[in-house]
Amino acid sequence: MFFTYLRRELAGRRRQTAIVAIGMALAIALVMIVNSVASGVRDAQASVLQSVYGVGTDLTVSQDPTPPEEGEAGAGPGRFEFGADDGTSTDDSTEISQSRLTAGFGSTTFDASALDTVADLDGVEAASAALSLTNMTFSGELPQFAQRTEGEPPAEGDTTQQAPTGGFDGAGGSAFDVNSFSVLGIDPGGAAVGPLSAVELADGRGLEASDAGQAVAVLDASYATSAELAVGDTIDVGGTEFEVVGTVTSTSADAATASNVYIPLGLAQSIAGLDGQVSDLYVQATSSDRIAAVQADIEEALPDATVSTQADLAASVSGSLSTASTLIANLGLWLSVAVLAAAFLIAILFTIQGVTRRTREFGTLKAIGWSNRRVVGQVAGESLVQGLIGGAAGLALGLAGIWVINLVAPTLGGSATTGTLAGGPVAGPGGDGGATASGPFGDRLADAAGSTTEVVLNAPVTISVVAIAIGLAVLGGLLAGAIGGWRAARLRPAEALRSVA
Amino acid sequence: MYTLENVSKTYTQSKRQITALADVSLSIPSGQLVAIQGPTGGGKSTLLQMLGALDRPTSGRISLGEAELSHLPDRKLGGIRAKEIGFVFQGFNLIPTLTAQENVETALAPLGVPAEERRRRALDALASVGLADRAGHVPGELSGGQQQRVAIARALVKEPDVLLADEPTGNLDEETRDEIMDLLEGLWRDRGLTLVVVTHDSAVAKRAERRLHITHGTVTERR
């Protein structure tokens, strides 16, 4: 009787069933899409972060840069000094070039003993240190000044001035170029956690424990392409020639790795004049629930350090990815809540209206012996099925919406703002921009902003998304059914019959 | 057998006390056909609701056989209504979305009758009121007289001891009225029912063995 009555009621009151189901379907589809897109944005953020911080890094430790004291020079490459015999001279010009390796823009170095301090803490599974550096190369062409000193100086009263020659324009001019790339000194044997844990070998080999102290380098593949370098070539880092032994790419699609060049930590420290110094620690906790405790312990052990968790790092992701994240978190969430509340309200109001309209019907059923439980069960059952119809339609609509989003596949740009803001390491410039910056400031600004990574938004359909749709449908149906049933249960048969007599 | 002892029922309406039944005492033996007449608002429907265990008196006692209707809990009153009392209403009170057969089956649902037996008994009940060929029709597809026949089948399918009819012919024309009353009278006679009919219609009341008149909540016998 229950199912016959239920089927007849839903079929007989098609308009009400359709309105309730459509309302529920729209709300459920919206919640599904928002949830799925939010999940996609989180994945994209993780992808951006992974390209910078590596896989498995739960915490990073760095130190806020301190502004230079009055009269003290700021962090920078220092002065490029050339002696009289430096450079390669031709007939009428001299070509000069010099590289300097300095601490990365926005990062502060601290004593490497912090690594042991952190590694010894309870709850720390693995830790590694890195030194973030910037290699600045100053190169240019000068006129051959020696020409001016040859022969006698012009005689007094001689008004015929000899025209200048040489230089890049043949008229005594000079041209300079300043290039830079990011360098990360890493422990060559400690790839379990740290920036190289999220890379794939594109060519050659990675850094190995036996490379400690050796002048070997691994290059970001996209940087290597732009700099026209390959395995077997050499690269000048701070005036030392390093042999390129491998190139790496990020495991994330379209993402650059954390730095342009990776070299053994010890050699990086000695070339940069930062012996015993590091700029970042990468820490992996034994389990995710220990992260907060490990963070507190590190902050206690290293009072000057800035300790960032993945959650903190996620906040550092900027660009359109950040905008999407904010949009989902604010507008998407509240829109879903509002539509869901409206759908539930519609379902409840229609159920109450239905019970009111069917007062005589329920009064009659009670008069012929139907118990309250049977009447309430009938009302709740009808609402539940309406909710489930809406849920099924919402599931289909939601899946269609997610399919459309994945078909359009919007691209979001994200950059992990590092250094002073997030306390993380300085990220290398992504792609060609950083490597070919024509001046120090553009490159250093690029460093400060972090690497921009283009990520295609993929909205995943997970079990939780489907469970949310079904759960909301059941919840909406039960809620409407419970309220409608409560109204029906309160009907006294005599009053219900009298009201229509 | 119904026994009413000093039954009173008062309602509060807009802060006014309305006495629907005033100290009513009477008994209705099993198998009797009783007509209750009286002006609108005199207390006819209230008396029928008391007899039908749909409401409790404000004071006094009502019993149906051994059951004390005035003091039983709702759940037990529901059980008595399900098994022993059949109702026929002026407006038929059929469920518009269910077919005639399904409407009749609703009376067997609370008794836990298996589906197959429910269907068979419903069809038998419809056949007994001359509507075997209309079992699959919804109320909207039936005439007023046919709808009232379905309502009578629903009331009788559970084979009750008592049938209470509230203005059963009030919405019908004279010809149909007579048909329905012939049907009710035949069933009453054949099944040995206690039949209580509330009516305005003297033609209907004249068919009863016993006629009661109720005015201002007070019941009097009418010869």
Whole-complex ipTM: 0.92
Q: Is the pLDDT of residue A499 over 70?
A: no
Residue A82: inside a domain: no
Of B54, B75, B109, the CB nearest to A497: B54
Q: Which residue of chain B comes nearest to A12, CA vs CA?
A: B97
A9 contact partners, CB below 8 Å, separation of at least 6: A382, B97
Taking the C-alpha atoms of residue A482 and residue A384, their distance in angstroms, rounded to an integer, is: 10
Residue A11: list chain B partners with CB under 8 A: 97
The pair of three-digit structure tokens given for residue B104, joined into one six-digit string: 């009749």
A82 contact partners, CB below 8 Å, separation of at least 6: A96, A98
Residue B78: list chain A partners with CB under 8 A: 366, 369-372
Residue A316: inside a domain: no
The pLDDT assigned to A445 comes to 33
Same domain flag for A339 and A292: no
Taking the C-alpha atoms of residue B133 and residue B149, their distance in angstroms, rounded to an integer, is: 13
Half-sphere exposure for A199 (CA within 13 Å, toward CB)? 29
Note whether A28 and A469 are within 8 A (CB): yes
Q: What is the rounded average pLDDT for all residues in chain A?
A: 75
The shortest C-alpha distance from B208 to chain A (Å) reads 23
Using 50, 70 and 90 to split pLDDT, how confident is the model at A169? Answer: low
Which candidate, A9, A72, A438, places its Cα nearest to that of B95?
A9
Ordered structural domains, chain B, with CATH: 2-222 (3.40.50.300)
- Mean pLDDT, residues B12-35: 89
Same domain flag for A330 and A464: yes
Q: Note whether A498 contacts B74, CB cutoff 8 Å.
A: no
Domain boundary among A284, A310, A336: A310
Q: Note whether A369 contacts B49, CB cutoff 8 Å.
A: no
Residue bearing the bigger pLDDT, A399 or A458: A399
Taking the C-alpha atoms of residue A136 and residue A435, their distance in angstroms, rounded to an integer, is: 11
Q: Is the pLDDT of residue B211 over 90?
A: yes
Model pLDDT for residues A53-102, shown as the tens digit of each residue:
555 677 888 877 666 555 544 444 566 777 767 777 776 777 777 778 88
Interface check for A364 against chain B (CB to CB < 8 A): the answer is yes
Same domain flag for A113 and A174: yes
Same domain flag for A233 and A293: yes
Q: Note whether A497 contacts B110, CB cutoff 8 Å.
A: no
- Mean pLDDT, residues A195-217: 83
Interface check for A369 against chain B (CB to CB < 8 A): the answer is yes
The shortest C-alpha distance from B136 to chain A (Å) reads 13
Taking the C-alpha atoms of residue A209 and residue A211, their distance in angstroms, rounded to an integer, is: 5
Residue A145: inside a domain: no
Same domain flag for A179 and A219: yes
**CA angle at A241 for the pair A239 and A245, rounded to the nearest 5°:** 140
**Hey, of A490, A497, A498, which one would you mutate to test binding to chain B, going by the most B CBs within 10 A of its CB?**
A497
Neighbour count for residue A43 (Cβ, 10 Å): 16
SS3 A471: helix
- Mean pLDDT, residues A422-436: 33
Beta-bridged to residue A130, according to DSSP, are A186, A280
The shortest C-alpha distance from A355 to chain B (Å) reads 13
Model pLDDT for residues B62-107, shown as the tens digit of each residue:
999 888 998 888 889 999 999 999 999 888 899 999 999 999 999 9
Q: Note whether B97 contacts A11, CB cutoff 8 Å.
A: yes
Composition of chain B by helix, strand, coil, percent to 5: 35, 30, 35
Note whether A425 and A134 are within 8 A (CB): no
Residue A3: list chain B partners with CB under 8 A: none
Same domain flag for A329 and A377: yes
Q: Is the pLDDT of residue B180 over 90?
A: no
Domain boundary among A310, A335, A365: A310
Residue B118: list chain A partners with CB under 8 A: 1
Phi and psi at A224, nearest 5°, equal -60, -40
- Mean pLDDT, residues B57-64: 92
Scan for tokens 């790419």, then name that residue.
A249
Compute chain A's Rg from CA coordinates. 35
The shortest C-alpha distance from B221 to chain A (Å) reads 25
What's B123's DSSP letter? H
- Mean pLDDT, residues B40-55: 89
Q: Is the pLDDT of residue A436 over 80?
A: no
The shortest C-alpha distance from A491 to chain B (Å) reads 12
Same domain flag for A355 and A239: no
Same domain flag for A379 and A480: yes
Scan for tokens 């009111």, then name that residue.
A356
Residue A328: inside a domain: yes
Which candidate, A355, A320, A296, places its Cα nearest to that of A482?
A355
The pLDDT assigned to A68 comes to 55
A189 contact partners, CB below 8 Å, separation of at least 6: A208, A209, A212
Residue A17: inside a domain: yes
Neighbour count for residue B92 (Cβ, 10 Å): 23
The pLDDT assigned to B61 comes to 93
Half-sphere exposure for A61 (CA within 13 Å, toward CB)? 34
Same domain flag for A487 and A347: yes
Q: Is the pLDDT of residue A154 over 60?
A: no
The pLDDT assigned to B111 comes to 92
The shortest C-alpha distance from A476 to chain B (Å) reads 24
Q: Note whether B111 contacts A493, CB cutoff 8 Å.
A: no
Residue A252: inside a domain: yes
Domain boundary among A276, A310, A344: A310
Lowest mean pLDDT across A157-161, A346-350, A475-479: A157-161
SS3 B108: coil
Q: Which residue of chain A comes nearest to B105, CA vs CA?
A: A1
What's A332's DSSP letter? I
The pLDDT assigned to A74 comes to 47
Lowest mean pLDDT across A152-166, A214-228, A426-440, B57-71: A426-440
Same domain flag for A29 and A112: no
Model pLDDT for residues A173-188, shown as the tens digit of each residue:
777 888 888 898 888 8
Neighbour count for residue A299 (Cβ, 10 Å): 14
Residue A375: inside a domain: yes
SS3 A11: helix
Residue A435: inside a domain: yes
% of residues, chain B, pLDDT over 90: 53
What's the domain range around A28?
2-49+322-498
Lowest mean pLDDT across A37-51, A279-293, A356-370, B179-193: A37-51
The total domain count for chain A is: 2
The pLDDT assigned to A195 comes to 74
Which candidate, A280, A258, A278, A284, places its Cα nearest to that of A59?
A284
The pLDDT assigned to A425 comes to 35
Q: Is the pLDDT of residue A153 over 60?
A: no
Same domain flag for A45 and A59: no
Q: Is the pLDDT of residue A273 over 80?
A: yes
**CA angle at A39 for the pair A36 and A43, rounded to the nearest 5°:** 140
Model pLDDT for residues A461-484, shown as the tens digit of each residue:
888 778 887 888 888 888 888 888
Neighbour count for residue A345 (Cβ, 10 Å): 14
Q: How many CB pairs under 8 A join A and B?
A: 84
Beta-bridged to residue A278, according to DSSP, are A110
Among chain B, residues having any CB pair with chain A shorter than 8 Å are 45, 49, 52, 54-55, 74-75, 78-79, 81-83, 86-87, 89-91, 93, 95-98, 102, 105-107, 109-111, 115, 118, 154-155, 166
Residue bearing the bigger pLDDT, A145 or A342: A342
Same domain flag for A252 and A279: yes
Model pLDDT for residues B158-178, shown as the tens digit of each residue:
989 999 999 888 878 888 888
E strands in B69-209: 85-88, 162-166, 194-198
- Say how many residues make up chain B: 223
**Hey, of B18, B72, B95, which one would you mutate to test binding to chain A, going by the most A CBs within 10 A of its CB?**
B95
Compute chain B's Rg from CA coordinates. 17
Pairing outcome for strands B2-13 and B16-28: antiparallel
B38-65 residues labelled b (16+ CB within 10 A) or e (exposed)? beeebbbbbbbbbbbbbbbbeebebbbe
